[in-house]
A and B are shown apart, each in its own frame.
Chain A
Amino acid sequence: MDQILEVRGLDKSYAGFALRGVSFSLPRGYIMGLIGPNGAGKTTIIRLLLGLARPDGGEIRALGLDISTNGAIVRSRIGFVHEAPSFYLHLTVAGLASIVARFYPHWDATVFRRLASEFQLPLGKRVYALSRGMRTKLALALALSHDAELLVLDEPTSGLDPVFRRELLERLAAYIQDGNRSVLFSTQITSDLERVADYITFIQGGQLVFSTTRDEVKDRWGLVKGGLELLDEGRRFFRGIETSAFSFTAVTDDVEAARRRFAGREVVVERASLEDLMFYLSRARAGAATGEGEGSPPGRGRDS
């Protein structure tokens, strides 16, 4: 499969945080959701991808090119939306677009005007007068107006109303329809990804937990609920456990094995949502860090 984005063994250290050996790839024509709790390293990965920071180790190839040596060329073919877009506030929407347009060889002013109209962005309005949601729309219109092959969105839906959020997701689905374009979508609103993502990459504490198709996440990961007396029997299947006085809820990455193990017992095995995964795996990690955790901590770097 033609990979539009390949990340291999990515390392980056800051004081108090380290991204360690992160590897994943995104094929052309798909949407990948990048998820993880706050401080997991999602934004760091995106900054490294855009050349805003330099990796300590590893490699990022986008559109078949190594970004460390072809950064500007790669960026001309990437559309980017940041969570808090940085714009010249005193310029008008049209003025800002005219500045950005100069840098992109495939800028299409007609597309920008059409998107501005669809997003109800007044071209003559100054950027400072736009709400946060409107600024995100402006960033999206700029990102979509130069025929980008890869869209990189960092928490784009925060600050957007539910109506536009849904519309954005529909747009993203339409955007990749030609099979040549892809989207890397970092978010904490996992319900958005349940709707549109084909691949899910889960980062936690700077390490890759998994990177695989959404269908495989659905098939392999599950929630197991049962009485406390059964907990020890299932520990080796569990990656994160929450207990109460009489029962436990655990997340497993081998739902079939858990089903077989507890067949005929009073245990419920059900599908885990992405939010469940984030919650239980984060709990497990926090527990492992304090020495009170239960279940095998995530972050084993398995790349499916």
Chain B
Amino acid sequence: MIGLLLKDLKVGALFLCLIGLIYLPIVVQFVAFGHDAPLFLASIALAASLVASVLAVEWRVDADRLLCSLPVSRTSIVRGRCLAILAAGAISLVLWVCGGLVGDVLVGHVGRGTPLWATFEGLVGFCLTIVGLATLFMPCYFRFGIGKGSAIFALLLIPLASAEAWGSVLVLGGASGSASPGAAAATVPGGLVRYVISQAQQELGAVGALALFTLAGAVLLWASVALSIRFYENREF
């Protein structure tokens, strides 16, 4: 599994450099203008781009055939891929936080409070978003491959993202009106997720909320990996 993760990191290293070159000016620009939410989304997009670039290379060279003829089980391939997706998320998280820090140092704050990358709900929200996307994407990819799998992933993602956006408007619109804790999250995309996180933090404390969301993320990933293994076992190359 580690071999598979290292393989993906090696294959993706070039793309990390290229995508990083595009990402860094975006960070500085967004920090300079105090655009926390777009920076959050750009960092999620960075993780997605890293994963997509590695998978595109693999598709281009028909790497499934190469991987499946190596002495490694399909189960390990799925788990390795899951690790690689989480690694891409972790790299993006680090770049998001570091980029935010460096940007703040370079250009300073523009009339705002604690930046999103420095808040509990921002950090946990980032991780949950990555886990959620990975949970949804992996079964699609391992069942249908990168082409059809991505299309189906997008079809599933659109209603979920819409539901989240409408949920933010409906729930947080009222919450903002009543000055509910965490209601500030309603002002940015993904606000409902972060609102739920901030509510959980209020109810359970930071440690309790972290444990709850870690458990939820682990369950989601476990189910997604189990389903992906089942799908991938039946794929033929």
Interface residues of A (CB under 8 A from B): 47, 50-54, 71-77, 80, 82, 85-91, 95, 98-100, 102-104
Contacts and interface: CB of A to CB of B under 8 A. Distances in A.
Contacts of B61: 86-89
Interface stretch (B2-10, B42-50, B177-185, B211-219): B2-10
Given A72-B73, A86-B61, A47 B14 contact: no
Contacts of A103: 3, 70-72
Contacts of A77: 71
Interface string B59-83: 0111101101111110010000000
Contact of A82 (B60, B65, B76, B234): B65
Given A53-B236, A53-B237, A86-B61, A80 B71 contact: no
Given A88-B57, A91-B10, A100 B236 contact: no
B11 interface: yes
Which applies to chain A's interface (DSSP): helix, strand, loop or mixed? loop
Contacts, number: 66
Contacts of A74: 71
Give the residue among B65, B66, B72, B234 with the most A Cβ atoms within 10 A: B66
Interface of B: 3, 6-7, 10-11, 14, 57, 60-63, 65-66, 68-73, 76, 234, 236-237
Contacts of A100: 70
A17 B76 CA distance: 31
A86 B14 contact: no
A75 B61 CA distance: 21
A50 B73 contact: no
B63 A90 contact: no
A77 B69 CA distance: 11
A99 B10 contact: yes
A72 B65 contact: no
A73 B234 CA distance: 19
B60 A50 contact: no
A50 B71 contact: no
Contacts of A88: 11, 57, 61, 63
Contacts of A71: 73
Contact of B7 (A51, A72, A85, A99): A99
